[in-house]
Structure 1
Amino acid sequence: MENNRGSWSSRFGFLMAAVGSAVGLGNLWKFPYLAGENGGGAFVLVYIGLVVLLGFTLMLAEMTIGRHANSDAYGSYNKIKKGWGFVGGIGILAGFLILSYYSVVGGWVMKYIVASFTGTGTDKSVFFGNFISSPVEPLVYHLIFMGLTAIIVIRGISGGIEKASKFLMPALFVLLLVTVLRSVTLDGAMEGIKYFITPNFSEITLKVVIAALGQVFFSLSLGMGIMVTYGSYLRKDEDMEKDAFIIPSLDSLVAILAGFAILPAVFALGFKPGEGPGLMFITLPAVFENMPLGSIFGALFFVLVFFAALSSSISLMEVTVAFGIDKLKWSRKTSVIIFTTLMFIIGIGASLSMGEWSDFLIPWIDGKSYGIFDFLDVVTSYYLLPLGGLLGALFIGFVWGVPNAVKEIKIGSKFVTEKLWSILIKYVVPILVFLILLSTTGLLNKLFGL
């Protein structure tokens, strides 16, 4: 039944939307360079193990809270236990702030699609630096990206988000497979393949585990209210246990395919695998430029990245829009327009902080000062998301109670992993997420000298 809140019209549509929320720049950009920096196959092995422990457990937990309460992230926690809405509020705030600067990066991706087709930007580092520091052009792309996100979300759950995701996700997989085939067939690609799939167990250190732990958490969109919100649109007979396996599995598949698309090409053409954040916008364009038919594959790759960015942005937008509909009693249209406008305005500051406003710095509790873009990233990624995930796990384990959550899950599932999940959500996940918080705030470094 489609109402002001909306609902999924099919299980496939929900799965594609949920996978789309998880698949984003973290898979196609961050995972390959983290693998490059942290021992290749060693990082991949640790990552897969943590997806099973952390990803499945928290994803099922968040969907369960949402479906049980049938409300936005704030309302779901508050309905289950009065006074605990702030946990969902942390996720809503995180999603709101993330999309404010994420859409700026989405705009950069759109610019690179245009540049790939037109062949502009010979020196990639100069081209990228000049573009992001421009006062006007990035804002135009930022506005277009926010506009596309708003158009999809304003059409509702089944008519907008679900319909878009049914196209975006299959198209993303096809484009990614084409890119992988091109990359692994380059002369010299085998060195990169071996690096990516061969684990060197001596490389598995606490630092690698923490890096993989953080990547699992952020890649799966945990702690930002998305899965609580999407779960609230589920029917009671939905098998959430199965969904909580499928979504992280497909998300991880995209991340691993991205590694096969990028690292063999990087090795084949003599670049370094651990180039860090510049890998996507500086190194990869240079890689594509140096391969046969590179302009075509470069354009395809950035179309692929655009699909991933857009599928994530619509889920981030829906978290805040659902709050506007359920808590503030706005219509979907009003909620989308107001939140899109606010995010765009904040994004202006994030974009200008790369150029004309680069001297404007905001002090933070870690003793450092950041530009607007970096400030939004640090506050959300390092503090709000892990905090939201930690409190969510503790909420089920010690406030709502594991037996109540299990009862909700069993409405539509046999729940064969009940005993394991109960232990993980109550004890193991809080410890793992607490380690992320310690790491990202720098306390782990002080304690263990990482």
Structure 2
Amino acid sequence: MRRDLVERWSSRTAFILASVGSAVGIGNIWRFSSVVGQNGGGAYLIPYLMAVFAFALPLMILELAVGRRLRGDVVTAFGRARREWRPLGWVVCAVVFLILSYYLVVTGWTLAYVESSAAGRSVEFSDFTSTYDPIIYFVISALLMGAIVSLGIKNGIERFTKLLVPFSFLLLLGLAAFSSTLPGYWEGMRFLFTPDFSVLTDPLLWGAAFGQAFFSLSVGYGILLTYGDYLDEGVRLLPSSFIITVADLTVAILAGMVIFPVVFTYGLEPAAGAELAFSTLPLAFEVMPYGQAFAVAFFALLFFAAMTSAVSMLEVSVASASRAFKVSRRAVSLVLTAGVIAVGLPSALSYTAAELQFNGMRILDIMDEVVGGFGLVLTATLIAVTFTWLLDDRLLHKEIGMGSRFVLPIVKYAVPAIMALTLGVKLIL
């Protein structure tokens, strides 16, 4: 694929909205509140904010700079850094593709809950997963994602995110405003914002914070590197990256302000973890004022956030494969969408009547534990090491500008060290 045939974002605003859409996913709304609840509330915010601004933000800037400077997808960029490292670009694509395969299963759950909430049906998560309905919603989500990516950057991803990202923000603000009227609002706010400094000595807390920060901002996956390829030269990277980071963080905090007042008003367990969104909160929605409307809005927000992230993950592989094999975007999107459905089917089946398991553990949970838990450590390390140790620093200094004197040393030395520590904590504890 020739450079002049690669589409570009139509404007800086379009790029920022697409990048925010990539960053703002289920991780900001469901997973963030879940991890906060499991790690002592407000205390978790201290290491989380440190991880976001001191480490994840510099890696974001690096990815965007590499994508724009080298004008390449993930595989091309690795190859231009050093030819023999090109296969590592495919490793990054493979990890993101595998994560996408089970991420779409959860995306399908959110779609199912939108439909059931709109219809006024009360659905227990255990009842839902005792059928084969999750397969249907998983496939629908995958097909919708593939259709959007197949339309290209301007007509597909850009148009989609321009519509959904602002709408999702408005939806989230509305939900937060409603939650502020609930009796448990101030108790929820104290839980979210009051730190218990005694838990800061727990290495698992720090590991969870760093993992969530990188996962939430979509850094280390090559997504932003790919988006950087579509970015015009005149766009300044530092302020744009800061806007994306603050927007992502704002969504996460607002999600906590939506969820925890409901949790404390109705006596739910804030440390419920993953089941909070699909098992616990729906019970509260059934008895709260305007509960049906709240449920529809909440699950629509989850679905929109999940879809914008899923689209960005598929784009990593589509961009690399279409350029490497000189095949049209539509053909590659079709093949990869079919592939992600095939690869994700075991994960989807594990939360159906089939209860597909391996060694007593559901396939989706295994994928999340292995690929989700260790995949980001691998891909973030590969990106950080390759483009700071093997690429001429002068190229990136020019691309990043003044901030490069801080960004490059952090990504070169601190990010790989943090990834190694995170891996060590996971293996030891």
Is the structural similarity TM-score above 0.5?
yes
CA distance in 1, matches of 2:171, 2:130: 30
What corresponds to 1:372 in structure 2?
363
Does residue 275 of structure 2 align to residue 284 of structure 1?
A: no
Q: 168, 175, 178: which is aligned to 1:182?
A: 178
Does residue 194 of structure 2 align to residue 208 of structure 1?
A: no
What corresponds to 1:255 in structure 2?
252
What corresponds to 1:365 in structure 2?
none
Q: Which amino acid in 2 is paired with 1:223?
A: G
What corresponds to 2:337 in structure 1?
340
CA offsets, 1:292-315, max 9 Å, x none? 111111111111111101100110
Verify the 8 A CA contact 1:128 1:282 in the aligned structure 2: yes
Does residue 186 of structure 2 align to residue 195 of structure 1?
A: no
Percent of paired sites with the same residue: 37
CA offsets, 1:249-293, max 9 Å, x none? 111111111000101110111111111000000111112222111
Does residue 386 of structure 2 align to residue 395 of structure 1?
A: yes
Matches within 5 A, 1:317-332: 317-332=314-329
Q: 163, 166, 171: which is aligned to 2:167?
A: 171
CA distance in 2, matches of 1:196, 1:372: 32
Cα 1:357–1:407 change in 2 (3 A) is same
CA distance in 2, matches of 1:409, 1:68: 10
Q: 156, 165, 175: which is aligned to 1:160?
A: 156
CA distance in 2, matches of 1:187, 1:270: 11
What corresponds to 2:105 in structure 1?
104
Verify the 8 A CA contact 1:4 1:331 in the aligned structure 2: no
State how many pairs are aligned.
427
What corresponds to 1:94 in structure 2?
95
Verify the 8 A CA contact 1:16 1:165 in the aligned structure 2: yes
What corresponds to 1:66 in structure 2?
67
Q: CA RMSD in A?
A: 1.8
> Scaled by the length of structure 1, what TM-score is found?
0.91
CA distance in 1, matches of 2:134, 2:19: 29
Question: More helix per residue: 1 or 2?
Answer: 2
Q: Which of 401-410 and 421-430 deviates more?
A: 401-410
The offset of 1:423, in angstroms, is: 2.4
What corresponds to 1:420 in structure 2?
406
2:84 partner SS: coil
Does residue 402 of structure 2 align to residue 405 of structure 1?
A: no
CA distance in 2, matches of 1:287, 1:7: 45
Q: 216, 222, 236: which is aligned to 1:225?
A: 222
1:306 partner SS: helix
Q: Which amino acid in 1 is paired with 2:421?
A: L
2:219 partner SS: coil
Verify the 8 A CA contact 1:88 1:388 in the aligned structure 2: no
CA offsets, 1:141-189, max 9 Å, x none? 1121111111211110011101110111101100001111111210132
Cα 1:261–1:317 change in 2 (3 A) is same
The offset of 1:4, in angstroms, is: 4.8
Verify the 8 A CA contact 1:5 1:322 in the aligned structure 2: no
What corresponds to 1:12 in structure 2?
13
CA distance in 2, matches of 1:46, 1:222: 17
> Scaled by the length of structure 2, what TM-score is found?
0.95
Cα 1:66–1:2 change in 2 (3 A) is closer
Does residue 134 of structure 2 align to residue 143 of structure 1?
A: no
Q: Which amino acid in 2 is paired with 1:58?
A: L
The offset of 1:424, in angstroms, is: 0.9
2:272 partner SS: coil
2:117 partner SS: helix
Verify the 8 A CA contact 2:204 2:425 in the aligned structure 1: no
Verify the 8 A CA contact 1:65 1:77 in the aligned structure 2: no
The offset of 1:370, in angstroms, is: 4.5
What corresponds to 1:352 in structure 2?
349
Q: 234, 242, 246: which is aligned to 2:239?
A: 242
What corresponds to 1:271 in structure 2?
268
1:120 partner SS: coil
CA distance in 2, matches of 1:348, 1:335: 20
Q: Which amino acid in 2 is paired with 1:92?
A: C
1:327 partner SS: helix
Q: Which amino acid in 2 is paired with 1:197?
A: F
CA offsets, 1:367-422, max 9 Å, x none? xx744322322332122211110121122332114333212223xxxx3x332223
Q: 374, 378, 382: which is aligned to 1:383?
A: 374
CA distance in 2, matches of 1:77, 1:264: 46
What corresponds to 1:314 in structure 2?
311
The offset of 1:45, in angstroms, is: 2.3
CA distance in 2, matches of 1:13, 1:279: 33
CA distance in 2, matches of 1:76, 1:114: 41
Which stretches in structure 2 are left out of the alignment for 5+ residues?
A: none
